[in-house]
A = this chain, B = another copy of it.
Amino acid sequence: MTTDFTLEELQSATRNHGMPLEALAYTTTPVGMHYVLTHFDTPRVDPEAWRLEVDGRVARALCLSLEEVRSRPRVSQQVTLECAGNGRARLTPRPRSQPWLDEAVGTGEWTGTPLGPLLQEAGLLDEAREVLFTGLDRGEQGEIVQWYQRALSAADSLRPEVLLAYEMNGVPLPPQHGFPLRLIVPGWYGMTQVKWLHRITVLDQPFWGYQQNVFYRIARDEDDPGVQLTRMYPRALMVPPGIPVFETRERLLSLGHQRLQGRAWSGWGGIIRVEVSTDAGQHWQLAALEPPAAPHAWQAWSLDWEAGEGRHELLCRATDAAGNAQPLEPQWNLKGVANNAVQRLVVQVRRDLDSSS
């Protein structure tokens, strides 16, 4: 693993932020602890002037105020979101972008109105193929000046769990999470969850855009068209046990009984198995696994461990109902996306720490 991080990477890392892993203790991640990745700037939106436009290949274009969106049928669901770039900083050579380690995740209680009925009200024409979502965030990436844009197939757009969300954890969306309205597509990586949404355009042909066709792909090299990212691959993370060393983030534990615990999720189906190793991967044990609190939310796991004195390397890995499992080593790709290699955590078990640590 290379460690020569650049100023450009640091600039991204101090702006965006991960979920401190101790926040895995919360079923719903508090605002400010949930991960945030903003490609450009967080726009400041006047909710009075804001409108949601629905146009393109529809029978009736719509233009809705925030009050009109909020007066539609209201649904709340707990959804785990993860950045597609989570794990990027562990790749060698390292693709240059936001340098996440393991922490680009969070679970919010998202409240909004289902997208499908709104599209049905507008009336998709027969030739409708994709639905394009445009945010109010604008900047240059890959030498292209752009509004942030992502598209879904018409069929995916009509899935019942897809929401236009205006609240997070029971309060209006914070600015950094997309105020006043964002898309929530449960199970999909974060790049899909368009923030500061203000336009929905129904297209009769596939959308081409930087964030769709250039960046968020699993590709070997520049010449490989690769595969578009959609759903999250499985990952398990552990609440770092004991207390941290500030400088290294290694963990110090007292001797004896420890309950190791964490969360696991996948966009491809429920998690069916979480395994934990306390000896750097030589042996694995099955963790106890709870059902998810909601269909698209992470699942809690735990394992009791008798911690002996000395240094231990703790690992955890998840397998989902579709048969996807986490690799032990990172799988490199050009943009550094979807690296769901297992988490590795170094702990020092020390006789001199009292049990309150």
Contact = CB atoms under 8 A, between A and B. Distances in A.
A46 interface: no
B99 A14 contact: yes
A145 B15 contact: no
Interface stretch (A22-30, A57-65, A261-269, A320-328): A22-30
A39 interface: yes
Interface stretch (A67-75, A246-254, A287-295, A300-308): A246-254
A191 B4 CA distance: 29
Contacts of A8: 247-249
Interface in A5-34: 5-18, 20, 22-23, 25-26, 30-34
Nearest to A25: B44
Contact of A145 (B17, B32, B139, B252): B252
20 contacts: A3-B10, A4-B4, A4-B5, A5-B6, A5-B10, A8-B247, A10-B10, A10-B99, A20-B38, A20-B41, A23-B175, A32-B34, A32-B36, A32-B174, A33-B174, A33-B176, A39-B246, A139-B243, A141-B245, A145-B357
Nearest to A16: B17
Contact of A177 (B1, B32, B139, B245): B32
How many chain copies does the complex carry? 2
A129 interface: no
Interface residues of A, number: 62
Taking each of A1, A17, A145, A243, which has the highest tally of chain B beta carbons within 10 Å of its own beta carbon? Answer: A17
A194 to B, nearest CB: 16
Contacts of A145: 243, 252, 353, 357
Given A10-B9, A101-B11, A40 B176 contact: no
Contacts of A312: none
A273 B38 CA distance: 33
B33 A140 contact: no
A159 interface: no
Contacts of A41: 20, 22, 240, 243-244
Given A5-B10, A140-B252, 4 more contacts: A10-B13, A20-B42, A139-B246, A145-B252
A316 interface: no
Q: Which of A33, A174, A248, A252 has the most CB of B within 10 A?
A: A33
A33 B246 CA distance: 23
Contacts of A332: none
A96 interface: yes
Nearest to A43: B22
A14 B5 contact: no
Contacts of A100: 14
A89 interface: yes
A243 B144 CA distance: 12
A138 interface: yes
Nearest to A357: B138
- Name the 3 nearest CB pairs between A and B, nearest first: A17-B17, A32-B32, A13-B13
B44 A26 contact: yes
Given A141-B247, A243-B40, A9 B5 contact: yes
A44 B32 CA distance: 15
Between A4, A10, A34, A89, the greatest number of chain B beta carbons within 10 A of the residue's beta carbon is seen for A10
